[in-house]
Amino acid sequence: MKKPGNILIVDDNRSVLTAVQLLLKPHFEKIITLTSPVTLTSVLREETPSVVLLDMNFTSGINTGNEGLFWLQEIKRLRPSLPVVLFTAYGDIDLAVRGIKEGATDFIVKPWDNQKLVETLLNAAQAIHNKNNGKSASPVTPAMYWGESPIMQQLRSLVEKVAITNANILITGENGTGKEMLAREIHALSSRRTKEMVAVDMGAITESLFESELFGHTKGSFTDAYADRPGKFETADHSTLFLDEIGNLPYHLQAKLLTVLQRRSIVRVGSNQPIAVDIRLICATNRNLNEMVQRNEFREDLLYRINTIHLEIPPLRERPEDILPLAERFTTRFCKQYDKALLRLSDAACTKLKTHPWYGNIRELEHAIEKAVIICDGNELPAELFQLPKRPETSRTGSDTGTEAATLEEMERKMIQKALDTCNGNLSAVAAQLGITRQTLYNKMKKFGL
């Protein structure tokens, strides 16, 4: 019998992961394990599991199951049809019913019965396998919030025109403006929407694995290459390939990407056989690629290749009429997520949110609302809950130490920002200056919205 596919297991107990992995090895083609759900969403954008086994509690001393329900919602947001089996040591029937109401396929109690666990997971995986084989996948529901501002309505009109074509698209905009969400909206409106969009974070791929990750490899082509593996281009065949942070791609690797885009075929590492690929390419960056071309940091011919259509997402401060509607959407979502009665924004809070410059854009607004919802004790969100920091100004004279940072995180953010300005955005130089790896730097930049 053919194995039904891949399984993703998320549990903070390494002993449990090992035991379940050994139990399921004969039944699934690939088993992916995570000891923390923090990277869950990024894994789901790169992998295509047939079923997820999700633990309910990850924070020591907290056994409410709310963490599991939150990550269940995140999985369903990204992959509405993906079966999720909840995994908990607490046989709470009410929690089980609630989880199933919110989209879980089934519920397993620890300590588990081996046969029941295997049967439950195989049935869930087989059900989605049969469903996908029986009919085409349903179109993805667009999740983009366009708002009412004229500049966003103009962008929407352009997106609706180009989405139905196969033209390559470059999305630019500041951090936190929603470039990946726009890419997913374009994919959802395209003729390729019956297949999942494949997203690749170019800043997170190490140079040594660039070709393997994008173009795939053959068995034995390098150490630990135990089997043939398709790359992102093959995975995105007849779908959309989204290359995020394209401006972070080192110059010497840009030629390899250009060659593939020109030939529309890839060659796996360790092979000489070209494989044709049919992809729709969308790239995104917060950097000025034209200036990078002038500094010989980005290939001009590659820029022309990826930039058939250019879409610029305006920063939130340029569309203030969208701030409060977005804030209300986030408030509703987080009240539901954290099991709170629906809160409303006070008049003073509305005024404060509307006048803040939001240099971190939608992401900063989202985090501000989430924090306020968590700590709010009343039935409305007062202005006092929104401690909105001013954007750290980089001193050109080195005299910015007069204001002491309130937290270690703020100090770290300032140090990284200063290094970025000093090194003109060269991430390798910034990482070397700070004494950290490029990957660590990139993770911190994402965390701080830099």
Q: For residue range 224-241, what is the model confidence (pLDDT) as tens digits?
A: 777 888 889 999 999 999
- Cis preceding linkage at 111, omega within 30: yes
* Residue 364 confidence (pLDDT) above 50: yes
Mean of pLDDT values over 257-278: 92
Give rounded-to-5 percent helix, strand, coil for the chain. Answer: 50, 15, 40
**Lowest-confidence range among 92-101, 168-177, 222-231?**
92-101
Rounded CA-CA distance 125/127 in Å is: 5
Cβ atoms of 377 and 189 closer than 8 Å: no
Greatest pairwise CA separation for the chain in angstroms: 69
Q: Domains in the chain, start-ordered, CATH in brackets?
A: 6-132 (3.40.50.2300), 150-312 (3.40.50.300), 317-385 (1.10.8.60), 408-448 (1.10.10)
Strand 239-244 with 279-285, pairing: parallel
Which pLDDT belongs to residue 137? 40
Arithmetic mean of pLDDT, 269-285 = 93
pLDDT of residue 37: 87
Using alpha carbons, list the distances in angstroms from residue 10 to 39, 52, 126: 10, 8, 20
Q: Residue 426 above 70 pLDDT?
A: yes
Name the band, by pLDDT with cuts 50, 70 and 90, for residue 73: confident
| pLDDT of 432 higher than 80 | no
Structure confidence at residue 41 (pLDDT): 80
Higher per-residue confidence, 118 vs 209 = 118
pLDDT at 202 over 60: yes
Across the range 315-339, mean pLDDT stands at 91
Kindly report which listed range (9-13, 33-37, 186-190, 411-415) carries the lowest average pLDDT score: 411-415
pLDDT for 246: 95
User: Of 71, 47, 39, 44, whose CA–CA distance to 57 is shortest?
Assistant: 71
| Amino acid 357: pLDDT | 92
How far apart, in Å, are the Cα atoms of 366 and each of 26, 68, 84, 106, 306?
A: 43, 21, 26, 31, 30
Cβ-proximal residues to 338 (8 Å cutoff; 6+ apart), any chain: 66, 373, 374
Q: Give first-to-last CA distance, the chain, whole Å.
A: 49
Q: Per-residue pLDDT for 406 more than 60?
A: no
Positive or negative, the Cα torsion across 450, 144, 152, 282? Answer: positive
Lookup result for tokens 């930049």: 445
pLDDT at 409: 67
Q: Does 171 or 332 have the greater pLDDT score?
A: 171
